[in-house]
Amino acid sequence: MQLAPLLPILYRLLQPRFTNCLWSGDENSRAIALTFDDGPHPQYTPEVLAVLDRYQIKASFFWLGACVNRSTDIAKAVCDRGHWIGLHGYDHRSFPLLSPMELRQSLEKTQAAIYSACNLLPEQVTDVRPPNGLFTPQTLKFLLQWNYRPVMWSVVPVDWTRPGVTTVAQRVFSQVQNGSIIVLHDGAYGGQDVAATIEILIPQLLQQGYKFVTIDTFYQQGKINNS
């Protein structure tokens, strides 16, 4: 898979051009954020929770509304543990392919699903990561206009292609730095390996002196100005 080596370069190109997105946290802090897309999944998400519980790590989950509706008990289990919840659209359709009305409905339907499962109010779930990381300046304009907080990434090990747990871990170790936002997947693509992957990543990153925080912590640091 030739995409993996290109993503850090793409990150460096895009990040300065779209400063209203959260791409990373404070480069002067050893804090990093572990994030998971495409869930919740009835098998893979509980496996992730078990590892996070063992290390007492808080992570951030960007959910698909359709998956929340299919696995409400799993969604509640994630929320009950105090993990941070964000939006990934209702059904993983790329945001630039949606009309403004479809985009807004996709996000609001996902918020409604999360409210039903977790009793989190819509205004408590406003962080949005676009599926496939795809957005346009117009997409970003709408998200900010509707008071959502766009969240991107700085470490993408392309785990959804299942290159192997060791390969994914090595890609993370080669890219991680202060303030990194790491993207993994606990959904249908890549979720099979995610628990084994974080079982490798977490202890080694802790040993390197990193501490795990949520996406909200990075926002609270005041690094992003969405005005």
pLDDT class of 226 with cuts at 50, 70, 90:
very low
- pTM across the whole model: 0.93
Which of 6, 39, 10, 11 is closest to 24 using CA atoms? 11
Closest to 45 (Cα-Cα) out of 57, 63, 33: 63
- Residue 78 confidence (pLDDT) above 80: yes
* Distance separating alpha carbons of residues 85 and 88, to the nearest angstrom: 10
Structure tokens at 193: 């390996």
Q: What is the CATH number of domain 24-220?
A: 3.20.20.370
Mean pLDDT of the region 21-25: 92
